[in-house]
Every structure is written in C-alpha cells, then in structure tokens.
A = this chain, B = another copy of it.
Amino acid sequence: MAAVSEDQTLRQRALRVVPGGMYGHQNVGSLPAGYPQFMRRGEGSHIWDVNGREYIDLMCSYGPVVLGHHHPKVDAAAASQQLLGDSQNGPSPVFVEAAETFVERVRDADWAIFSKNGTDATTMCLTIARAATGREKVLAARGSYHGAAPWCTPRLSGVTTSDRANLIYFDYNDVESVRRAVDAAGGDLAAIVVTPIRHDTGTDLEWPTREFTQALRQHCDQQGAALILDDVRCGFRLHNGGSWEEIGVPVDLSAWSKAIANGYSLAATTGTDALREAAQSIYTTGSFWFSAVSMAAACATLSAFTCESSVDAMTRVGGDFVAGLEGQMHDHRIEARVSGPVQMPFLRFANDDDFELANAFSVECLNRGLYLHPRHNWFVSAAMSERDVDGALEATNAGLASVSKILEGRQ
C-alpha cells in the first residue's frame, strides 16, 4: 500500500473546505497527474513542494518572483518596514519612495497609484480613461488576459451581459480588426487596452508588429482615447521600465503587478500628466493599498533591477536555456516552437491541440526536477545560474525524449 503523501492529505482536506479543492491559476486540477498542489518553500531559483521534492523554478510563482525567492536585500527591506508597521492609518514614507521610483524608472509614468491585484490596476486604468474622456467603450484583444474581474475573466460563469457591454474586441497584431473595432466604438472610445506581447495561454507568444503598435497609438490619438498597456505579466522582465519603451511607442496608462515587489503583494497604476486630473477624480481604494511592507519590498526590488542588471541577467540565462532547448528539439527531431522573449519563453509542440505532448514533456521535466507549465508561458528569474540552466536542460532533454517516444508510437 502506497503511503499517502503530504500533498494528497492536504488536497483531501482542501476538498472539504475549498470549492473544487482549489481555484484560479494555481489550481493544478487541469494539470497532468504528478503536479504538486501545495508548496513548502523557495530559495533563489529552487523550490520545494510539500512532499519535499526539489525543483528548479521556471514558473516563478507565475511571475512575481523575478530576483529569485528570498532575495536578501528585498527581504531585509521588507523586514525592516515590518518592524515599524505595515497596515496603518496612513501610508508610510516608503509609499512616496515607491511612487518616485516608478516615475523615475518608467518613461510614461508621471504618477503612480498602488493597489493589490493586477486586476485592480487594469480595472483602474479603464475607469481613469472613462473619467478622462467621458466615454464608455474600451477595445481589448480577443483572448488577452487582463485579470479576473467580471469585465475580463476568461470564464463567463456568473458574468452578466452588462459587465461586458462596453467591451469591443479586436485581434492582436491585426490592424484591420483594430480599425473595425474603433469604427464600432462610434466616437465613444475611452481606451484601448493591450498586453506588451501576445501571451494568451496555450498559444505561441507573439511580439507586437510595428504596424500594430503604431496603429493603436494613432487611433488613440485620433479619437482622443487612452492607450493602456497591461504590463502586469511582462513588466520589468523585458525592460527596466515600461515594456514598450524600446519600441518607442508611448502609452497613456500602465497596469503593473507581479514582479514589482519580487513576490510581495503589490500592484500599481501609472499614467501621464494628461491623465492626472482624471486619476484624481475617481474613487479607488482598498484596505491594504497603503500597506508599507510590500512598498518597501518594491523599492528594494526596483533598485535591484538596476544594480543587479536583472533584465540582462534574465536575458542571458534565458537565452542560454532557450538555445539549449532548441538544440535539443533539433537533435530529437521534434517539431515544436519556442516562442516569446527568452525571459518568459513558451514551448508548443506541433499537432498538439490536446496538449498530450506538452503534458508528457512537463511531467517528465517535473520528475527530473524542473517545474514548468504545459500551457502557460514560463518565467526565468535573475537568480537562475548557468548550473541551473544545465540542470533545466537535462530535464528538458528527458522531457523531449518522452515526447519522442509518444510520437514514435503514433507512427
């Protein structure tokens, strides 16, 4: 009789007190068997599940962990602030410091408002754009993830028609579909919201074309609408500032979360001076939006991004990892594609609509000590070493071997 693992015990307990045993993006219910539901701890680029198994972490808590788990300077800054206070009757001095750091660091940020969820930040961008323009319609790319509020959650259960009455959809990188959506807004366009890259779950990641980004900017300028960059997932992984700074397209509002405090709970909305008054006109708040510990962590994290050249570090190890993986794909003669920036790459196998190959690959990687996801893009952290890359590539090689075996069986 097999011993019941700690993970299984916890799952059984959770099933009693949590609907379906778990919810949201960390629910492993749709992942292949073998994925642990519960985690114990993390240190640098390594994590341990509750059963004591160690992994190289290629999910980084789905984005927040960017400098590695327990970055000493971030944790020290957070601990110092915790000794003073976290939730108080007003913000702490670190609040101002964090806002100033965003304004210094991000080209299109003249101000910042802090919150807790990425969804708080994206929703707030829409509200500010509507307050500024007095208009209601918002354009979003079909299938883009902007959070889990009724206006944007990917599953429609419990969502009303009114929740989405003002949303009009276009296709990412399809300028003609953008033009049609702008026309459909009929002069009532408040904003266009877009992710820096296309990173829909289960599909190839896609860089925006120059034509596409410029079309979005031009339509917003022509209509007097706000261009909103949802930088929640990509922010500070692609660039040490806004993710579209390098391509040279300015945005009016940006939504941030995930990586900005290296795992401490924080989100931010930033915007330009033109939208400052509108931002001031809305009422937006939360019980913990002024909590100081995560802001101290954000200051230390943003500082580390610069001092430790974290984007460069992620680009280097991510690049080595992706190059190695592509070499393995070639060696195994597997038709697949690694897409997206090397800091947040994603592997998709050809003819794998049911993710059978992706699941087999991921489980084998997991068994070899590499934690990645079959349908969601991965995240490289700046704590990943060349040794970790070697370890990760050993795992992916085994993963590709098991995919080869399946493909052979299919012939």
A39-B91, A257-B287, A263-B87 known; A162 vs B165 contact (CB < 8 Å): yes
A148 at the interface (CB under 8 A from B): yes
Residues of chain B within 8 A of A157, CB atoms compared: 127, 131, 278, 281-283
A285 at the interface (CB under 8 A from B): yes
Most chain B Cβ neighbours within 10 Å, of A110, A150, A158: A158
Residues of chain B within 8 A of A281, CB atoms compared: 155, 157-158
Within the complex, which residue of B6, B19, B166 is in contact with A276, where a contact is CB–CB below 8 Å? B19
A327 at the interface (CB under 8 A from B): no
Q: How far is the CB of A90 from chain B (nearest CB, A)?
A: 4
Q: How far is the CA of A41 from the CA of B154 in the complex (A)?
A: 41
B288 adjacent to A117 (CB under 8 Å): yes
Residues of chain B within 8 A of A344, CB atoms compared: none
A95 at the interface (CB under 8 A from B): yes
Residues of chain B within 8 A of A267, CB atoms compared: 287
Q: How far is the CA of A65 from the CA of B89 in the complex (A)?
A: 10
Q: How far is the CB of A67 from chain B (nearest CB, A)?
A: 12
Considering the complex, give the chain B residue whose CB is closest to the CB of A130. B158
A195 at the interface (CB under 8 A from B): no
A400 at the interface (CB under 8 A from B): no
A284 adjacent to B24 (CB under 8 Å): yes
Residues of chain B within 8 A of A287, CB atoms compared: 61-64, 117-118, 232, 257-258, 265, 267
The proximity string for A residues 332-343 relative to B, scoring 1 for CB distances below 8 Å and 0 otherwise, is: 000000000000
A153 at the interface (CB under 8 A from B): yes
Residues of chain B within 8 A of A205, CB atoms compared: none
Q: Which stretch, A10-18, A302-310, A389-397, touches the partner chain B?
A: A10-18
Residues of chain B within 8 A of A96, CB atoms compared: 10, 13-14, 17-18, 38
Within the complex, which residue of B39, B84, B263, B294 is in contact with A92, where a contact is CB–CB below 8 Å? B39
A28 at the interface (CB under 8 A from B): yes
A231 at the interface (CB under 8 A from B): no
**A binding-site residues for B, Cβ under 8 Å:** 6, 10, 13-14, 16-20, 22-26, 28, 36-42, 47, 49-50, 57, 59, 61-65, 69-70, 75, 79, 82-93, 95-96, 99-100, 102-103, 110-113, 115-120, 123, 126-131, 136, 147-150, 153-155, 157-163, 165-166, 232, 257-258, 263-265, 267, 276-291, 294, 371
The 6 closest A-B pairs by CB, nearest first: A24-B285, A131-B158, A155-B283, A127-B158, A265-B288, A87-B263
